[in-house]
Amino acid sequence: MTTVAPTALLALGALASVVVAAFLLRALPRTAFIAWTLVLFFVPIWVGANAGVFWSAITALTVLLLAAHWTRVPLHPADGWMAVFTALLIGLFLLRGVTYPSMLTAVLEWVIPYAWGRIACARLSTMWITRAIALAATVAAGLALLEFITSFNPFVLIPGPEPLHSAWDDLQPRGGFLRAEGAFGHSIALGAALAMSSAFVVAARWRLIPTVIAVALIVSATVVTFSRAGLITLLITLVLSIFLLPGVSARLRAAVATIGALGAIVIFPVVDTVLGAAGDEAAGSAGYRTDLFVLIQQVRPFGSSGDWTSLVTGDYYLGYFARSIDNALMLMLLRYGAVPTFLLLATIACVVLLVVRQVGRNPAALAVVGQLPSLVVVALITQYGTFLWFCVGLAIGWGPVHRAAGDAGTSRTRTEAGHGMERPRIHHG
């Protein structure tokens, strides 16, 4: 009896704190988004609290911001695809076709960030969002370079629950160097996040010199992750940004193109040397990703593929892939089935269509398009998955079809501002 009352009081106090925080975050939307961006880039995934399930800091804050800033937005076909996916996912879980951890991963790390991206455009100026992400990414890039130079990562010293902390706090060597990973728990996740952020830096409309410095920092930091996926998607994103983003000056296009050319001349030989020194590890990592496609035979139309790890297909013992599947698309197929995966891909395809049709060429859309190759070589690990699906939602909400409603929301925001887990272990690819 004596322990029940203090526990109830603590729970009540925590609930009151959440309610007060929600009101403050709604009254100060710019401050709220800055807080979200800082957590995204600088708080590791193992930092959080247990409340029924483990809530990482970025997931808990995203849910809180989504609840605090909920508002009506013009609907888009992408919203329909995502809504059907969510309903089907819950139905499959109730029918035991999808595991509880898989359902939580999809809802908390994909669906909710997508919804937050949709809402953010209605509550904030898109330029404010762009500059906040660009600035945070630039600082993260600078810290990654410092990490590479000193071989010291302060983020891994932050404690967290097991086995989550030990799953992500290891620093990965490649070719005699420690790969930078910042607060993202893995160099691949950091490289992908920086590649996506490069579009926001180009679109931030800073003066020429600060933009060039920021792009150079992001390129350099992506290099020291020694992630091939990060480098390839960075190149794609920068090319798309300098040629397709509206409002980019000819001087900036020339400057970014020059940085890219010089980077290719200076950096690629270095990367080639490191990968060459890595030898069998780098080659084995690449070969492993190719071998993963044998798992396509286990995919079902609906729901999880079940226990396939004891099977042998051709020359492959499928248990070899049990601990690590570095392929986001393959993981979707195995965990949720072909039809739910199609619904997710249809949502992403809506972003691609915005770019192709020239009606939604914004940094979020280009960041998503730039990541398409990585979906078959990288899992949506740590904050990377949250950032990617946030950008999908942001790109949909950014489109000119919805701009009138978004501008109205921005006007309200300015007035208010004036007054006011299931995580795969992965190979070092």
Task: Extract the tokens encoding 106.
Answer: 């999809």
CA distance 191 to 196: 9
Which residue, among 356, 385, 354, 352, has the nearest Cα to 368 in the 3D structure?
352
Task: Extract the tokens encoding 324.
Answer: 């690590």
CA distance 81 to 347: 6
Q: Is the pLDDT of residue 9 over 60?
A: no
Look at 5-14, 17-26, 378-387 and tell me which has the smallest mean pLDDT. 5-14
Phi and psi based region of residue 416 (left: phi greater than 0; alpha: psi -120 to 50; beta: remaining):
alpha
Give ∠ CA 343-385-171 in degrees, rounded to 5.
Answer: 150
CA distance 75 to 78: 8
Task: Extract the tokens encoding 261.
Answer: 């050319």
Q: Express each pLDDT in 290-310 by its tens digit.
A: 777 777 788 889 988 876 665
Q: Is the pLDDT of residue 352 over 50?
A: yes
Contact in structure between 69 and 396 (CB atoms under 8 Å):
no
CA distance 399 to 121: 10
Give residue 412's pLDDT.
41
The H or E element containing residue 386 is helix 382-398
Alpha helices in 95-179 (DSSP H): 100-106, 112-123, 126-150, 164-168
Cβ neighbors of 12 (< 8 A, separation 6 or more) are none
Across the range 240-255, mean pLDDT stands at 88
Q: What are phi and psi of 221, to 5 degrees?
A: -65, -35
Give residue 247's pLDDT.
83
Concatenating the DSSP letter of every residue in 294-314 gives: GGGGG--SSS---S-TT-EET
Give residue 424's pLDDT.
42
Contact in structure between 347 and 86 (CB atoms under 8 Å):
no
Q: Is the pLDDT of residue 427 over 70?
A: no
The H or E element containing residue 174 is strand 173-174
Q: Express each pLDDT in 361-417 by its tens digit.
A: 899 999 999 999 999 888 899 999 999 999 999 999 996 544 433 343 444 443 333
E strands within 6-162? 48-51, 53-56
Across the range 351-357, mean pLDDT stands at 92
Give residue 47's pLDDT.
93
Q: How many helices (H) and strands (E) in the chain?
A: 18, 6
Look at 46-50, 247-251, 307-311 and tell me which has the smallest mean pLDDT. 307-311
Q: Express each pLDDT in 139-186 by its tens digit.
A: 999 999 999 999 999 999 999 888 888 888 888 877 777 899 999 999
Max Cα distance, the chain (Å): 72
CA distance 20 to 346: 38
Counting residues of the chain whose pLDDT is more than 90, the rounded percentage is 51
Give residue 90's pLDDT.
96
